[in-house]
Chains A and B, each alone.
Chain A
């Protein structure tokens, strides 16, 4: 028995175990996972305010947008399980195309079908903010900020619709638009949240119109 214990204590697996214990004891894994999920969310899916940079190398052409709209319309019709995501992507393309009325309808449907999805909420907020409907914007941003990012990552990674976006690396866009950063979404959400609430209370304030003009965030 002693021989066996002595033999086992000299094996590499014991070193592995020790390493795992040390790592588990001294790492703040909750924070690590949280940071990772936020960045993953940022890299995986599109936002309206970065609309020309995500998924495209440059500003998308009219033909590209029409193809996208056709494709995601078909997705909505063809894949019932994918409807929530397909509506979101359709809204995104319609927004870029300039069809804002249908875009918001699509995004509202997406929020209704996949309420835990960060980007639907966030893009809904951006839409209303740009349309100066600060009450709805604040509501959407509050909703977005309260969501669990892990769920959004899971939604994206398990969705065939988002795989299309995923396959076009969003990081490529940074090279073409160095001044636009895809990171820091969470801070942006908080900023939008605060500004929406401020503009709701002070609708005529110059800061609101200035922010709208400058695309401040």
Chain B
């Protein structure tokens, strides 16, 4: 009976292909995080900021608008900062928009579900990368399941690392494939991933990663460099037009990043990034702070992250953002120390070491780079190197040892096998004791250690390491322990029921939103993460109560304008005017305004409006980049639109472009004639708008093209 059951089970399991094990693993991962994805458990920290930014993008894409400006964030900011930060051209967001447009899910669920699938896509890329390196599906599955159940996936719910790690994994997959056997598909894949990475967050993380990996590869595999160059040269000679076209696309897609860089000079403020430094650009992180001053959090790097995580490794203490790998990884890393060193392992270890060194601000290596490499000033989160570089490298080391274990020398004598079996027992016992001392040796940990010992012992005594058996054993080794921890984590976070952001029915002009935002006006600037420079100057120089009193309406119509030096006296004068609601707008002293008064008897107070329907002013059209008001004023008025000023805003009155003036330090002002008039505000030029749409189309078209070719090749068995 038992033998019969065993035969049936064996037959069943042996029919499951590796793809089946992959889907099963991901299903288990989804079960582990179902509460997070369904938003029953609450995501935290940066994940919330990214959900909000994604909502802004997706809700605009759904309306058919590419956002360039965001009125309801920090009193108006250019959207290009968010575009770059979250990689808005990434086809991921097109897919997210489609998911959200089905109206089956609320936005946070659509976001988290899409990002989970994106993470899974990244893990598939990692599987393919390992398959390319080892030509062994068992090893590839081992690496896949280990990375899938590492805490890299957990960071979906408290960070945005997934947006960088997934394209990075695919980039190295395409690059490896391209270096082994150059093909158009691999080259296009490399270009697409590089495009995504250069347009996500700070592109220098990718550039640094690429440079470091290339350096280590050159050092370890120096004898292979020449043949690789020959292969590449041959490919470029065979397909010059294709290569040129791809490289041109790549360069074109760098334009928005470059534009953000140049626009950051004097137009935007990121106080938390560049601190109180009198830097011209807002983008560089305060490197001097990282190196010299002592605020502990600014000096956070890879080692700090590892040590911090060590406080939270037990099931009860485990939390989001804590470094975690299933226990089996530790077993194999220890086990692998008895193995012979080879070029691959040297390459992985050397690269890991260098990433740890540059990822920690308290090492001379970091200091050297910070002093000699210009882009180091853009790194604020050095521990990111740990997550998107050291994590995959760690799994590559694990995979190497798994490969050695699965493909061990079959000619070993019985003495050597017995010695290794004893080492295996001792190793697992030591691990058990270690967990016991830490108080982490529960049922699941005991089960995992037992299974691990049995698994390695079976391999050592020469049992056939067939594909289904290895995949099944790895599932047993990884999934129960990870589920135990992740489910406990979900349970802990279930207690938190705070709301997620929801899509607003209208964009931009929501006076109540403006007021709500203003209630949070910081008394000092450093609380603002991102703002226009105009708003920052206002918030820095005018007291909170004066601003709150002034900005309670979206539109303010004045009868008089006063040019003002923004010195100490001028600023106090403005503050008094704001507090007393004087009928007087202020413009810079050098504004050279044609007129300062409407020549009519001025009212005591300015007219205030929120643009809702009335006789005086009505909102005609609005989207995130464009506002149109129909006005009907009794006499000429100087209109101040309390949305931050930025030099890329253009104003039109009755279709004719009109000069837009920076009024009341932070906002947009212009003279509006008496009677009926159409006042329009447009951010950016039509050329820039359509250029952005064009880039978005390039990303999506290239992605679809690569996907189609990969599916076709897979069907032909060429992949």
Binding site for B on A (CB under 8 A): 10-16, 19, 22-23, 26-29, 31-36, 38-40, 57-58, 153, 157, 163, 166-169, 171-172, 174-176, 178-179, 183-184, 186-187, 214
Contacts and interface: CB of A to CB of B under 8 A. Distances in A.
B496 A57 contact: yes
B572 interface: no
Dominant secondary structure of chain A at its interface with chain B: helix
A42 to B, nearest CB: 8
14 contacts: A10-B340, A13-B338, A26-B357, A27-B303, A27-B362, A35-B296, A36-B308, A153-B311, A157-B311, A163-B317, A169-B319, A172-B493, A176-B498, A178-B49
A29 B44 CA distance: 30
A174 B45 contact: yes
Given A27-B363, A174-B45, A39 B340 contact: no
Contacts of B13: none
Contacts of B308: 36, 39-40
A28 B357 CA distance: 11
Nearest to B321: A171
A39 B496 contact: no
A175 B45 contact: yes
Interface of B: 42-45, 47-49, 158, 295-297, 299-301, 303-304, 307-308, 311, 316-317, 319-321, 336-341, 345-346, 349, 352-353, 356-357, 360, 362-365, 492-493, 495-498, 520, 522-523, 527, 529
A12 B163 CA distance: 33
A172 B304 contact: no
B297 A39 contact: yes
A28 B320 CA distance: 27
A172 B42 contact: yes
A182 to B, nearest CB: 10
B363 A38 contact: no
Of A14, A19, A39, chain B has the most CB atoms within 10 Å of the CB of A39
A35 B300 CA distance: 8
A168 B341 contact: no
B363 A26 contact: yes
Contacts of A58: 498
Given A12-B339, A40-B308, A214-B523, 10 more contacts: A11-B339, A23-B353, A32-B360, A32-B362, A39-B304, A157-B311, A157-B317, A167-B492, A172-B44, A184-B296
A130 to B, nearest CB: 18
Of A35, A163, A186, A214, chain B has the most CB atoms within 10 Å of the CB of A35
A167 B299 CA distance: 26
Contacts of A183: 296-297
A59 to B, nearest CB: 12
Contact of A33 (B307, B363, B364): B307
Contacts of B311: 40, 153, 157
B287 to A, nearest CB: 17
Nearest to B491: A167
A174 B299 CA distance: 20
A12 to B, nearest CB: 5
A30 to B, nearest CB: 9
A167 B316 contact: yes
Given A14-B341, A27-B362, A36-B304, A172 B496 contact: yes
A169 B493 contact: yes
Given A39-B296, A166-B317, A179-B522, A12 B365 contact: no
B423 to A, nearest CB: 12
B304 A15 contact: no
Given A58-B498, A163-B316, A167-B316, A39 B337 contact: no
Contact of B340 (A11, A27, A169): A11
Given A12-B338, A12-B339, A167-B316, A34 B296 contact: yes
Contact of A35 (B299, B345, B353, B357): B299
A100 B226 CA distance: 76
A179 B297 contact: no
B345 A12 contact: yes
Given A57-B496, A163-B316, A15 B321 contact: no
A153 B317 CA distance: 13
B303 A184 contact: no
Nearest to B47: A175
A85 B588 CA distance: 58
B331 to A, nearest CB: 14
Contacts of B520: 179
Contact of A26 (B301, B317, B338, B364): B364
A12 B363 contact: no
Contact of A169 (B44, B357, B362, B527): B44
Contact of A15 (B296, B346, B522): B346
A111 B343 CA distance: 57
A187 B319 CA distance: 26
Contacts of A22: 353, 357
Given A22-B353, A28-B363, A169-B493, A174 B345 contact: no
Nearest to B338: A11
Nearest to A187: B295
Given A19-B349, A31-B362, A179-B527, A168 B300 contact: no
A12 B317 CA distance: 33
Contacts of A187: 295
* 6 nearest CB pairs, A to B: A13-B337, A175-B48, A35-B296, A28-B362, A57-B498, A183-B297
A174 B307 CA distance: 22
A172 B299 CA distance: 22
Contacts of B493: 169, 172
A184 B320 contact: no
B254 to A, nearest CB: 31
B628 to A, nearest CB: 32
A171 B496 CA distance: 11
B382 to A, nearest CB: 12
A68 B188 CA distance: 59
A13 B333 CA distance: 10
Contact of A168 (B336, B353, B357, B496): B496
A198 B496 CA distance: 41
Given A39-B300, A157-B311, A168 B362 contact: no
Nearest to A36: B307
Contacts of A13: 337-338
A194 to B, nearest CB: 15
A58 to B, nearest CB: 7
Nearest to A35: B296
B152 to A, nearest CB: 18
A174 B340 contact: no
A186 B311 CA distance: 20
A103 B368 CA distance: 51
A168 B339 contact: no
Nearest to B305: A36
Contact of A19 (B339, B353, B498, B527): B353
A23 B337 contact: no
Given A28-B363, A39-B300, A172-B496, A12 B320 contact: no
A32 B307 CA distance: 8
Nearest to B356: A23
Contacts of B45: 171, 174-175
Nearest to A168: B495
B340 A12 contact: yes
A38 B345 contact: no
B231 to A, nearest CB: 30
